[in-house]
Structure 1
Amino acid sequence: MSLPKLPGEYLLLQHEIDAILSTGAVYATAETGGNRQAVQLVDMDGDGEDEAIAFFRMPGGDFLVCAYQRTADRYEEIGRAEGFGSSIHAVHYPCVSADGHLALALSWGLEDASTYGMTVFDITDEGLESVLDIQYSSLLVEDMNGDSVDELCFAVRDAVTGGHSLHLYNYSGGGYRLMGETPLSVEVRSVSLMQFGVTRGGHSAVFVDSAATGGGYITDVVSLSGGVAVNETIDMVAGSGAVTWRLVSVSSTDIDGDGIIDVPVAAEPQSGSETQQSDARYKLHWFDFAQGEEPQAVATTYHSVAEEWYLMWPDIWGEAVTASRRSFSGVSRTTFSVSADRMPAEKNSRSLLTICVYTGDNRVSYAVADGVKIIRQTASSIYGYILPENAPIGYALTDEQVAEIFKLMERDWTAGG
């Protein structure tokens, strides 16, 4: 792998790097995350001047990380460390002091694809000094208590039992120390997303979305108060997190825009195959959690995950409306209708709204032929809708209401730990 030469200002650094490359080493880059360059310029000590962190793979397959500091007339190596993973999975720079001092956190890929290793280095007078070494399955780097210092939060899988737990580390006394830990739900098969937010009660919390054993997804809400981590969604006797189960792959998010992360739960309980095969599986109720209180319902949605759109369920629909979907070449139609038991059989159409999604090379001509109203377009899809002229009174929507409740799902392109 070859990279462009550094700009003139950094020619002195290039000389140092070339000396390592001449041994047969090659540049190495991280697989995920926002820090993927082989040479990264970062102000590690908070003095306003960038240090250089360079990553190499040595001829024997091991990794070498070198840190350089600019002096008056050259770049001087101030530390180096070796790594022995199968890859550099990700690179993080957690802040470890209020004055902006950063540590270097390297995540290593391991033979077990579901587990990573992490080594955290502090730059000291002795060079790159290891201050934490841990194996984990998912990671969150965040200032969780507002002191300008980043905590490290790990989801850790027990190699013997297969169970998962959440471990929280804070920086103290020159290193990262275990601050607290709590079990995650027994249903956790693999952690898909960890994010930091606040609960309805104002407590800081980590929201852990996971794929569940037996299918579906669950969320653990771990609140943090006074250095104590409490799992708000787990049954402390059975260890179950079934209260947050849903079949579809939808993660926790601030669904109603109030600054609190909400948790999606299946509108119909986890029961039998009939429920899982019906379109009711796409309907979700969203809840806020608060320490020691009953969860509070804040919204309902219908999520079409495969087509990357969702609908904020109108209050006037309540439990009276159902959804059905038909798909054929390049076109998908999801129709929302008043359920048959809410309207006499002799009434006209029960249809309220049809969302149409067009894909493929002929999507424009299909949309024009159907005469739909276009509501969104992406590089690969056209989203349109149809409002029937004689929709049932009391449930009908306007064009303005459709524009307000229709949303596209967002992707996290930088996820990685």
Structure 2
Amino acid sequence: MNVSLHLKHLKHLVVAALGLTAAAGALAQSTIKIGEVNSYKAQPAFLEPYRRGWELAQEEINAAGGLLGKKVEIISRDDNGNPGDSVRVAEELVTREQVSLLFGGFLSNTGLALTDYAKQRKIFFLAAEPLTDKIVWQNGNQYTYRLRPSTYMLVASLVNEAAKLKKKRWALVYPNYEYGQSAIATFKKLMQERQPDIEFVAEQAPPLGKIDAGSVTQALADAKPDAIFNALFGADLGKFVREGNTRGLFEGREVVSLLTGEPEYLDPLKNEAPVNWIVTGYPWYAIDTPEHKKFVDAYRKKFNDYPRNGSLVGYVALMSIATGIKAAGSVESDKLAAAFSGLKVATPSGPIVYRSQDHQSTLGAHVGRTALKDGRGIMVNFSYVDGASVQLPDAEVKKLRAAN
């Protein structure tokens, strides 16, 4: 090839490359890219319905014209339930995929890792599911907001009912990581304030996902408690319930239990589901408000399945982001973070607000008793506890966030 032909060939290559770059740029500009990070492989019971929730929201948003004149594109990554992987895939989403913001998280430890990442990279992050209080308190930062009620809020919702039982001797069981430890610390503190003569006679803290249900159940039974406070969830909860039923642990005892009324954890137990426990949960089948019925109908039509609590969380998370982007008129993290402060969002559970004090939403929880119906566990005699009613005083929140 002579020099002129070679130069001509290079010119064509450069033009072609520029054309591809321009095309890629145009494509990127035609959508709003949102990154999502979660532990789908590690926690499928909750997170598959959660994924469906945000997929429904994405479909509705795009059908209505998208945001800021652009379609919404969600790029999701699995973090294997590992904090290190959470940060790695978040960085991949930001640098390689060039997403404008992040949402997601399930476990408390991965949620905290993403919270710190958002602070360091100055990128907006909506923690959809992680319950740890630290996300909005000690580790809270300008760029992180949280949707689901915190551990403190959920425990406080249950304490109102637990205190009415007037039981003196309590046994405690929880997964031995941040969420479980925080749940127990809050339960002890709030119950001691309400009932100074309370005694905690046994405490079992198995590793997350590795419960020896037989020994845990026997240790609790040996302590002869009047009541049990449980913070186990997922497969650990199922093993605990089955072993407790077999050994008669729950007979004649009150049980107060975080998360157990969520279909993700109640449904797999079928006719072995616990009866008459006081729980937080999501009785989707009995919430008859117009906005909730609309959500359930749309979900069932799209997926031919009923929603779980994860479905609601995923849906509201993306709808919150859409509301925030509209309010900010931008996907820039600083503008979005400012818009979320005091942001009011319409949800299937009613309107919520993202508090300016701590970036926590006022989404609440249903509290009721468990029962069996048609061979499966349900919630009965439940009421909705508004998240705004179970918050720490502003002065305490300010102290907890002072370092950040």
Shorter-chain TM-score tier: under 0.3
Report the structure number with the largest CA radius of gyration.
Answer: 1
> Which has the larger helix fraction?
2
Q: Which structure is higher in strand share?
A: 1
Normalized against structure 2, the TM-score is what? 0.24
- Please, what TM-score do these two structures have when normalized by structure 1? 0.23
